[in-house]
Structures are given as C-alpha cells and as structure tokens.
Amino acid sequence: MKLVLLLLALVALVHASAVVDLTATKDYDATLGKDRGVLVEYFAPWCGHCQRLAPEYEQLGKAFASNDKVVIAKVDADKNRDLAMRVGLRGFPTIKWYPANSLEAVDYNGERTAQALGEFVSKQSGLRAPQSLNTAPAALELTVENFDKVVEDPKRHVLVEFYAPWCGYCKKLAPIYEKVARAFEREDNVVVAKIDVDAEENADVKRRFQITSFPTLLFFPAGSSDKWPRPYHKERTLEDFVAFLNERTGSFRNTDGSLSVLAGRMPALDGLAARFYRGAEDVRTSIVAETKKFIDDLVAKTTEEDKHTAARYYLRVMERATRDGVDYVVRETERLNRLLTKSVEDAGKISGKNIDSLQRRINVLSAFVNERVANVAERASASASAAKHAETAHDEL
C-alpha cells in the first residue's frame, strides 16, 4: 500500500502547477514586497472568466518557472475573503503586478493571453519575455491554394473554421480557437485550421461548401474513403472543442495541451498489468505469456504503430520487473517524474514529443499499481476460470 501511495503521489506531482498559490495570508505576506516582482491573479473557482484564463496563466507560469526574479502567483479570493477585502477586489479575475520591494500594485487590463501577460511582466520587470511565449499562431491558415491538400489528407483529421475578418463572433472565437490549435499541435494526425472565405481569392471554397454564416466550423475525418465534412454544433468553448476532437480523433489532450492520465493506456492490458504487480511469481510468468500473445494478435489485426508501441511498453515493464523486482515500477516512475519535472523547469529544452512520451510511460506505470483495476481484473479472471472449469466438467459428463 505504501508503494501505491508513493507512486500516486509522484504521478500527482507531475501535474503540479507552475503558478505559486498564495491563498494563505502567511504565504502572501511572505512573498509580496520582497526581492522579486510578483504577478498575482485574484480568482474565484466558480468564475467562468477565471476558468478560461487558467490554461493561459498556467502557460505563463511555466514560461517564467526558471526565472528567479519573478513570481507568477494566484490567490483564491473566494476562499480568503479577508485578503480580498484588504486588496479591495471588485471582480474576478483581477490581475495585479507588485514590483520588487514594493506593495504598490500596477493593475493589468490587457488581453488575457499568456503572450500578452508575458509582455506585461517583461515591461514591468525589465526582463526579456521567455522565448516560449513568442510563438507563431498554431491554427493553420488555409487558402484556395492549399485547402484540398490539407483537408483531403487521408492520414489527418482536420477541423476548419470558415470565417470573415469583420465578423464579431469570429473575433470572439479567435483566441479560443488558437488555444484549441495549441492544445493539439503535438498530434501528428490532427490539424486545426481556418480560412478567410470573405477574401475574393477563396470564393470558390465558400461556394463549394455553401458557407452562408460566420463562423462555420466543419470537421473532416481522416480516411481516404470518407472526407465529407461533419458540422460542429457544440458550444464554442475550449473545453467542448477539446472534448470533441479527443472523441473524434482518439486523442487524450487536456485543454493546456498536456496529455491526460489515460494517454498511452490500453484497457485490455491495464488489468493484466495490475494483476502482474500483485501476483505471485507463477502468476506473473503466466501473465507475461498472455501479454506476448495479446501483442502478437494486435500486430496481426492492426497496422496502428502507436498501439503496438503502447502494448510493447507494458511487456517491457513486466520483463524488467521480473528481472529486477516489482519495485522497478516505483523506481522507474520516480525517474520519469524527475525528468518531467525538469522539463517544466527547463522550459523549451525538452521537446514536446519527449514530454508526451514521458507522460505516456508514467500513465502505464500507474496502471500496474491501480488496486481497483486489479480487483476487477482478478474477479474477471476468476469468473473466466470458473466458466472454463464448468465447461470441462460438462464435457467429461
């Protein structure tokens, strides 16, 4: 049980925020007015604007995480109402900059994006904005010249926004849509794109898809046999866009672009992994053989290399744990967590692809110590054994 709790704690550490929580008054007073400039977001958990700001603010925190002259912080002002009254808050979110060695705040009233906030912090502190914030737009701009090449690619799922520059709804959607594109930019088979169909040169595309209102959102699924678009009718929120694309593309992205705890996992192997971890030596030997057979069958049935890679990692962990002891699962999780934590501290030094690889492996390792999965898997295994025994007995009669 101690090993399980340790592993779960390590997994939780990976998702720790890069934004410093100063909700406790003692932490707040110990940080502001000292030798570092502090940007503070005063928020309330129920506030919709705060929820939409959260991934941008987290990105800002990660960008400045390795800088020892700036603190990116937040205060749950709904929880600490005394502090809210002391500051004189009138709404959420409220963002203030406190220079080093000063409690005189400078209010922030600009765009609520990581890039705009980074420029504000840079201007107030005199520091150069982190390179990670100076990024090109993630949403791919299409024209009549490249539209068919991108949209009809059989290997890629493509979400397209048909927009007009003067459209108020399009302008409102723009920052949200950019966040969606950013969230899926590490998915090789997903493209988030847009096209200005008010431009005369793109008029043929507008007529072809009968675009009569703005914005119109169409999803073109991967596959050579069916590229006819499906309309997107859900809410135009970051959360709904991400949920839609995850469901349609088989991805496991969070709204900030990180992978969810299910990425890299295979339900059929989770049960075997959990039974392996708690099983006796003879049980483990049997499960390794069962896992090898599963992989052979999988390779024979599908050409999806991602699934092959995921399945082989389960086997690799089992073989290492057989050789080095089951404590290997905890040791390896600790090692991967250190690498992942370092990737946050050294923003930009580890590629996004490598970060995803680390997260997938951590997710698989967590399946080995999942007691709930182990209990379900063992009951299923026992039921299957009982059924097989009953069938054998019936044949003998």
Place of tokens 């866009």: 241
Tokens of 336: 């991967």
- Name the pairing type of β-strands 140-142 and 190-196: parallel
Q: Could you tell me the CA-to-CA distances from 220 to 228, 264, 269, 364 in Å, in that order?
A: 6, 25, 31, 31
Concerning whether 341 is annotated as a catalytic residue, the answer is: no
Residues linked to residue 308 through DSSP beta bridges, in sequence order: none
- Choosing from 72, 159, 170, 183, the catalytic residue is 170
Q: Is 348 left (phi over 0), alpha (psi -120 to 50) or beta?
A: left
Instruction: Please state, in angstroms and rounded to a whole number, the distance separating the CA atoms of residues 37 and 69.
Output: 6
Concerning whether 270 is annotated as a catalytic residue, the answer is: no
Instruction: Please state, in angstroms and rounded to a whole number, the distance separating the CA atoms of residues 3 and 168.
Output: 54
Concerning whether 356 is annotated as a catalytic residue, the answer is: no
Instruction: Please state, in angstroms and rounded to a whole number, the distance separating the CA atoms of residues 383 and 378.
Output: 8
- Asked, as a colleague might, if the bond just before 93 is cis with ω within 30 of 0, I would say yes
- Choosing from 24, 47, 339, 350, the catalytic residue is 47
Q: What counts of helices (H) and strands (E) characterise the chain?
A: 15, 10
- Choosing from 24, 100, 167, 218, the catalytic residue is 167
Concerning whether 169 is annotated as a catalytic residue, the answer is: no
- Choosing from 7, 14, 50, 142, the catalytic residue is 50
Q: Is 343 helix (H, G, I), strand (E, B) or coil?
A: helix
Strand (E) or helix (H) holding 190: strand 190-196
Residues annotated catalytic, as ranges: 47, 50, 167, 170
